[in-house]
Every structure is written in structure tokens, then in C-alpha cells.
A and B are shown apart, each in its own frame.
Chain A
Amino acid sequence: MLLVVWFVVSYGFGIIAVEPLDTVTVPGTGFPLGFWFAQQGAIYVFVALIFVYVFLMNRLDREFDLREEDDV
């Protein structure tokens, strides 16, 4: 599921759909939207994705009562 977001944002917005998105400018700045996704937005989304994943997995660990104190 998170990988779908990853794919859509980087390959979708940043590469495949860059031309239509470039016709729109990010409000308040001079960035064409597709260019912005490819050079800035995608990176922010990547960071957010990993933290969402960490949060989901930690919650899952708690639900199943997996507390690894001194694992391995």
C-alpha cells in the first residue's frame, strides 16, 4: 500500500506526468508543479512514508505483544 504511494509520487508525478503538471505553478512560488515533485516533493514524501511505516509496524508489534527487549 505504501509502495503504491511511493511509485505514484516518484515515477507517476515526477517522471510520467511531468508535462501536464508543469503547466500548473505551485501557489506562492515560481515552481512548476511537476518539476517541484521531481526535485523536492518526492523526497519529502519518501521521508513521511518511512515514518508512517515505522509507526504502523510499532503499533502492530504492540498489538501482538511482541516486545523485543534483548532480541537476537
Chain B
Amino acid sequence: MSVQSWTFLLVAASFTLYIGIAVWSRATSTKDFYVAGTGVSPLANGMATAADWMSAASFISMAGLISFMGYDGAVYLMGWTGGYVLLALLLAPYLRKFGAFTVPDFVGDRYYSQTARIVAVVCAIFVSFTYVSGQMRGVGVVFSRFLEVDVNVGVYIGMAIVFFYAVLGGMKGITYTQVAQYCVLIFAYLVPAIFLSLLITGNPVPQLGFGDVDQASGISLLERLNGLHQELGFSEYTSGTKSRLDVFFITAALMVGTAGLPHVIIRFYTVPRVRDARLSVGWALVFIALLYTTAPAVAVFARTNLINSVSEVPYAQVPEWFTTWEGTGLLSFEDLNGDGRIQFVGPDASTANELTVDNDIIVLANPEIAGLPNWVIGLVAAGGLAAALSTAAGLLLVVSSAVSHDLLKRSIMPEITERGELIAARISAGAAVLVAGYLGINPPGFVAQVVAFAFGLAAASFFPVIILGIFSKRTTREGAILGMVAGITLTAAYIAYFTLIHPELNNADNWWFGISPQGIGTVGMLLNFAITLTVSRFTPEPPPEVQQLVEMIRVPKGAGAAHEIST
């Protein structure tokens, strides 16, 4: 069978599975819709969190980025996993104990203020849409290459599927669909990685394989890749080019952003007990780590294969995958010196680089470059879609619950019935799907780049107010509101300035202290902390019942103190 028929078959089969699950587990109450009736086991919740979390950015874009960035790619690996430690130790159990449905719910109740709730709703929607637009570009890339339909048609198909199960199933439908999507995506990621590892090093474990001996040359694979890089004028693969400070800030922004992302936090409301909230963060990270430790290996294999298969090859003899990807516009070759061969070289080389490769195609093109069987290529397409759709659905749910629960039920029309609220939730999910579709057709940037901005925004807005809300009784509503507004404004302004208004100035010379727009979220977060703490000192103390509430959250149940062992 051809690549295309395998892709059709596997994508159709996985979509049927998701819809089947959505129908079987559709939501019947608002509690089902928002938090899956709080009856999900920690293992299933961990798996769903992993799928929710690992988006098109992790699946499609990340290994490609690492493959181009070398050591610097570690910012994504550490940043997107390290946040779970913060989440497990500082946030998940306490928020579960608090028992709110959504993040704005927590902010509104803890800071005894409708204004705080609405500021949080706006931040949640803003962060979620930034993130969703990244996913939709991922869906578009997969569809345009593998199903050979127009990118826009691909986005419409994706939206229809998400609409169907998010609107019908709510959190309950999404959770069980995501369990299935996790299985699809991890299988699709590991199979080609194991194949490649066996082909290149003969070691079946990719995590060990990329540190092993390259069978073709007999020296260590990383050494060989460093050698190739030197020859072609790229900087050494295992050492970085970014400034240490920038690496530090980007990693911090991604970590803290993970812990502040509303669609991740909301997941820990779906388990029955506080103890389960802790355990499910652990399981989530195990499932995530499985992909994240494979990614750097895939990056090394892909980089080696890419260089070997295109460098100095006459353009007339390029392999088939080269031509098909050229058709999508994500790969381009310009014969600058007119010798008919592809010069794929770095900034330090004497000749000019003639090949432009979009980061987002590395994982998808990898099995073809290595000449793996057709079904593996189809499988990777299905996996990429699973990753993008599961995250998009989780985010759309945040948007819909922010509108129907926080805005309607808790602020504008508190007398709304349970039935009315459920209808409102479905309508807003539907509207959110349309906006996401628009963003998917007019995407603002690369998948992982856009997603990294969403993390910066989450880090700068939610993380400080949640942490201080739990651990500092003295934090007041005025502090929290000003902190959130200042944090998100600074971060959004810096990102917008360098990516939308003056993209030509976007380089290290113009950045503050050499901090890139991806790392600015950390600065926004520090500003948020500073403002929240200072303003809280000069405003009246929170009412006594709120202070009691904060005391209550910190104890797992009624009795016993000494909860602070690990902080």
C-alpha cells in the first residue's frame, strides 16, 4: 500500500475511535462537563494529562527544533518537564483541596473579588487562544502533506472532529478520548525512533542509542555529528550558541508556564482525592518523559540522516520525499552558486547555504528520509493529529468553562439553571472552535514558537497569584489584580513588539539583557510577584473567612499540621 492509503486508513481508524469514545462517555451534568464528575483514576488522569499536555509542539515541532539547536534544545526538554515538579509540590494537591472548577474560580474565591475573577478569565482565554493557534498550524501541516488536501480543508476537518467530542462530551469525553490519543501518539513516536536507533547504532533503545557508536563510521554518533557540523560550518551540536542567561530565562518561563497553564491545572480537579492529585501528576510526568527522553535521540538521528542524504547531492537526483515536501512550501532549495548541487551549510562556512528546512517537518519527514516502511509514515501522521487535537480540545474546554461558568454563572447571571449553564458551555465551546479555526488558517508563527509564547503569558499571569494565594494569607485582591495585569501586559507587549511590530529588530542586540521574547515570561512573572507582594502590604488585609480558607487548603483534611516538609 502507498503512503497515502496507509495514512488515510490509520487517520480514519483513530478518528473513529475518538468519536466512539466521545459518544460512549458524553456529559450529562455540568460537573461531568467541567471536571468529568471528579471520578477519574490517577493513572487514566495521568495519561490524559500527558496527551492534553503534549501538543503538536511536542510531537511535531520539538525534535525538529532540537535537531537545529543542538544543546540549546534542552530549554524545551527541561522547561516542559521541570514544571511538573512545581505543579506536584506546590500546586496540584492544594488546588484539588480547594475544590474549584476552574482557575478563574479559584482566583475569584481566594481574592474575594469579581474583578479578579474577570481579569483571570481574560488571561485564561488569551493564553488558551495563543496556544490553540499553534495546534491548528500543526494540524494544517499534517493534512497538507499526507492527505494532499488544502491546508484550510485540513483545518476544517480537524475543527469538526474537536467540535464533535468537546461539545458533546465535555471534560468527561475529552478525558477518555485523550487516554486513547496518548496511546496513539506515543506508539507513533516510539516506533520510528526505535527503527532509526536500530538502523544507525544497532541499539533498540533510542535513549541509549544516540550516545552509542555509529555503525557506519565506527565512532560515537555524537562525535560524528559534531564532526559533520564542523565540516559544514555549523556550531558544535553538543554545545550551545544562545547566551547562558537567555537559556536560563527561557527554561524558567517554560517551567513556570507549565505550572500556570489553565488547561493543565484544571486536570487535577478531575480526580476523587487530594492524594490522587499528587499521584496523577507523577503518572503524567512518566508518560510525558517517555516521549521527552526519546525526542533528543530522534533529533540526533534526524540531523545525521538529513545531512547525509542532502549535503552535496545533485538537485536532479534528490530523493522522492524531498520533492513532495517542496510541494508544501516547507522545504526550499535555491541554487545560489549554480553548481546544481545542494549546499546545506552553516553560518561559519565559506559557501552560502542553499537549503531552507522548516523545523516543523523534521519529525514528519524523518521516517521517509530514513526510508522506513510506508505504514510507519502513516502512523506518524495519525500520531501528530492525535497530539494536536487532544491539546486543542483541552484548551477549548478551558475557554468554554471560563465563559459559561466564570463569566455567566459566577458574574453576570448567577440564577442560571444547571441545564442553561450546560447549554451555554456547549455554545461557547462551539464559538471557541470557530475562532481557533480562524487562527489555524491565519497562523502567527511556528508551532513551538507560538506555544512558547503561550507559556510565557501563563507564567507571567497565573503562577504568582496562585502560589501567593495558597502560601501567603496576607495577599490581597488589589495586589493580585495589579500583579496579573502588569505581568501579562509586559510579557504580551514585549512579544508583540519583537514578533509583530518590529520583527526585523528581533535579535540579541536589541533584547533587554539578551533575553529573547520566549524568555520574557520569567521577567513578567518576577514583576507580577513584586507588584502583588508590595501592593498587598499597603492594602487592607483579606477578610477573616478568606484567611481561614487559606489555612484550610494547606491541610489535607481537618487535622494535623506539618505539611511543609518539602518546601
Contacts and interface: CB of A to CB of B under 8 A. Distances in A.
The judgment on whether A and B are partners is yes
A10 B281 contact: no
Nearest to A26: B211
A50 interface: yes
Interface range, A side: 35 or more
- Give the secondary structure class of A's interface: helix
20 contacts: A6-B82, A11-B251, A15-B74, A16-B244, A19-B239, A22-B239, A29-B220, A31-B222, A42-B78, A47-B282, A50-B84, A50-B282, A57-B275, A57-B566, A60-B563, A64-B559, A65-B560, A66-B557, A68-B557, A72-B99
Interface in B295-335: 296
Interface in B267-308: 272-275, 278-279, 281-282, 285-286, 289, 292-293, 296
B274 A71 contact: yes
Nearest to B566: A2
B85 interface: yes
A70 B557 CA distance: 11
Interface string B65-95: 0100001011001100110111011000100
Contacts of B96: 72
Interface of B: 38, 66, 71, 73-74, 77-78, 81-82, 84-86, 88-89, 93, 96-97, 99, 207-208, 211-213, 220-223, 238-240, 244, 247-248, 251, 255, 272-275, 278-279, 281-282, 285-286, 289, 292-293, 296, 556-560, 562-563, 565-567
A38 B212 contact: no
Given A2-B89, A50-B281, A61-B275, A11 B213 contact: no
Interface of A: 1-3, 6, 10-11, 14-16, 18-19, 22, 26, 29-32, 35-36, 38-40, 42-44, 46-47, 49-51, 53-54, 56-58, 60-61, 64-66, 68, 70-72
B82 A10 contact: yes
Q: Is the interface of B mostly helix, strand, loop or mixed?
A: helix
B244 A43 contact: no
Given A30-B222, A31-B222, A53-B278, 14 more contacts: A10-B78, A15-B74, A15-B244, A22-B239, A29-B212, A43-B292, A46-B84, A47-B289, A53-B566, A54-B88, A57-B565, A57-B566, A65-B560, A71-B274
B81 A42 contact: yes
Contacts of B286: 47
A60 B77 contact: no
Contacts of A15: 74, 244, 247-248, 251
A10 B251 contact: yes
A11 B79 CA distance: 10
Nearest to A67: B557
B566 A44 contact: no
Contact of B296 (A10, A26, A39, A72): A39
Contact of A42 (B77, B89, B240, B273): B77
B304 to A, nearest CB: 13
B277 to A, nearest CB: 10
Given A61-B556, A68-B556, A43 B282 contact: no
Given A47-B289, A50-B88, A71 B565 contact: no
